[in-house]
Chains A and B, each alone.
Chain A
Amino acid sequence: MNNKDNTIVSLENVTISYKSQPAVKNVYLDIPKSKVTALIGPSGCGKSTVLRAINRMNDLIEGCTLKGRVLFDGIDLYDKDIDPVEVRRRIGMVFQQPNPFPKSIYENIAFGARINGYSGDMDELVELSLRQAAVWDECKDKLNDSGVSLSGGQQQRLCIARTIAIQPEIILMDEPCSALDPISTLKIEETIHELKKDFTIVIVTHNMQQALRVSDMTAFYNAEQEEGTSGGKVGYLVEFNKTEEIFNSPCQKATQDYVSGRFG
């Protein structure tokens, strides 16, 4: 860990369980600042679970518990006196399914900013956020239309804009393109490239090409049957490295198999 200075979030021996059934075990992960980190791995290995642990979204799920530490700028996010609302304000999230509010496009952006105490020029913020998320041109003439009236790809970029507008330090994205066509996907990837100048991004993706195209670092997760139990599979981190390393010369055989598509 020679680049500790650049680490913004670090997971230390994190184990997350749903109702005492562990979903991922003993994860150590140092997410570098101002880079794009991709989380890849087979379905059900706990990528979303890990991602949601970073901004305490898992708190909303009953029975979900976390052991270990998640440090953000050296502060343990699961400390007793940390307010999860504050955490989510500093670590924004874009979900797998586009989920704009059933409000106007303008309100979709303004709502989060307002509850976060933004007091500047709202029109300006709305325009800037939509521009940054590369959806301004499609929205500028219908800011008062419902956010739900946009196409799926536009909705997802609206959701990105909404997250940008609260000015978080990190943006978490859980398979942001899985519900989108290739063109919208490319647009979102371009957006990610732009955003990386200002934000740290962690993205979960099932698309190897996408991980290659957008990410600087890649973490590969896998899941396997717990020894000596009859329970479900438990996920763990296999390998975490620069994206080129993971794709070109991985250390682990499982990684090699997965990235080359030879995986069960």
Chain B
Amino acid sequence: MVAFVLIGIGLVVFTGSIESMGRYGIKFLFTSDWNPVTDQYGAFTAIYGTLVTSITSITIALPLGVGTALFITEKILPKLVRETIGIMVELLAAIPSVVLGLWAMFIMEPFIRPFLSGLNNNFGWIPFFSSRPGGPGIAPAILILVVMILPIITSIARDSLNQVPSRLREAAYGVGATRWNAIFNVILPAAISGITGGVLLALGRAMGETMAVTMIIGNSNNFNFSLLSPGNTISSMLASQFGEADGSQVSSLMYAAFILMIITLIVNIIAQWMVLKLKLKY
């Protein structure tokens, strides 16, 4: 059944995109004009946006999430604090993404703007920070993704850490390991397979996240390296344009959707492979 639905969706998206594929071929991936007036389409801006938002947000959320999980499972904080953090993580996961999007637009983005300006002033020579921030953009989208995937990474990391048998912890402490020795040399390696699975799941989520990102990323198809300028992701491009698109624009959107599916598929395959590869027997 699942396979059937999956293949069905894949086929629909694929047939929808044939026209655009025929017209642009592989060039679609590397050009960034997206102009319904002249009927020129290239998805590079959206692909760049998808990859850069998802990868950067994972890079930020991973240490935060695993750190939080360690604080909870390794009894580093008093019980009350640990439980409070645990509940807050779950509440965070329950916030609808449209609410997060609103929060990002009206509160978070104005709040971080001075900081982003500072980045531009001091590090403007780095391509990623080379434009003046103003309103929606890729950077606030990254931050909102961090907020959204943090609960996923934290809860999966927490479950993986909880599954590390206590006799392994005892073994580590029993040979005179400090808490950090035990965590970095024994406990994390035993949980790494599960954590990796969680990270790749979160990566899939980050690439596919639509609502909040669409609200804050600026939906601009003009390519700019800078994270401080508006951009687009494949998902938000689909969401914001599909309603009023026709003809070859629909086909190009389908083509972009097809690319997103392929990227997600690749991430998933890598995920499965890494989970197996990193699995320790104990």
Chain A contacts to B: CB under 8 angstroms:
55, 57, 60, 62, 85-86, 88-89, 92-93, 95, 97, 99-102, 111-112, 115-116, 146, 148-149, 159, 162-163, 166
Which chain B residues numbered 117 to 176 have a C-beta less than 8 Å away from chain A?
Answer: 165, 167-176
Which chain B residues numbered 225 to 282 have a C-beta less than 8 Å away from chain A?
Answer: 280-282
Tell yes or no: B190 within 8 A of A by CB: yes
Tell yes or no: B181 within 8 A of A by CB: yes
Interchain CB contact under 8 A, A60 and B170 = yes
Known: A57-B174, A95-B170. 8 other contacts (CB 8 A): A60-B169, A85-B178, A88-B173, A88-B175, A88-B176, A92-B174, A100-B171, A116-B176
Specify which of A60, A101, A162 is in contact with B186 (CB 8 Å cutoff): A101
Residues on A with C-beta less than 8 A from B176 are 85-86, 88-89, 92, 112, 115-116, 166
Q: Is the interface of B mostly helix, strand, loop or mixed?
A: helix
Question: With A62-B75, A111-B185, A146-B281 as given contacts, are A166 and B173 in contact (CB-CB < 8 Å)?
Answer: no
Tell yes or no: B177 within 8 A of A by CB: yes
Shortest beta-carbon distance from B187 to chain A in Å: 11
Interchain CB contact under 8 A, B181 and A88 = no
Tell yes or no: B189 within 8 A of A by CB: yes
A18 to B121, CA, bound (A): 58
A-B contact pairs, 9 of them (CB 8 A): A60-B173, A85-B173, A85-B176, A85-B177, A101-B172, A102-B168, A102-B280, A115-B175, A148-B282
CB-based nearest A residue for B166: A60
Shortest beta-carbon distance from A34 to chain B in Å: 21
A116 to B176, CA, bound (A): 7
Question: With A102-B280, A102-B281 as given contacts, are A166 and B175 in contact (CB-CB < 8 Å)?
Answer: yes
Interchain CB contact under 8 A, B171 and A95 = yes
Residues on A with C-beta less than 8 A from B165 are 99
Shortest beta-carbon distance from B23 to chain A in Å: 53
Shortest beta-carbon distance from B257 to chain A in Å: 42
Shortest beta-carbon distance from A30 to chain B in Å: 24
A93 to B280, CA, bound (A): 24
Shortest beta-carbon distance from A198 to chain B in Å: 17
Residues on A with C-beta less than 8 A from B185 are 111, 115
CB-based nearest B residue for A63: B79
A253 to B280, CA, bound (A): 51
A93 to B195, CA, bound (A): 30
Residues on B with C-beta less than 8 A from A93 are 170, 174
Shortest beta-carbon distance from A199 to chain B in Å: 15
Interchain CB contact under 8 A, B171 and A99 = yes
Residues on B with C-beta less than 8 A from A62 are 75, 79
Residue picked from A88, A102, A148, A162, most chain B C-beta under 10 Å: A102
A148 to B190, CA, bound (A): 13
Shortest beta-carbon distance from B165 to chain A in Å: 8
Residues on B with C-beta less than 8 A from A57 are 170, 173-174
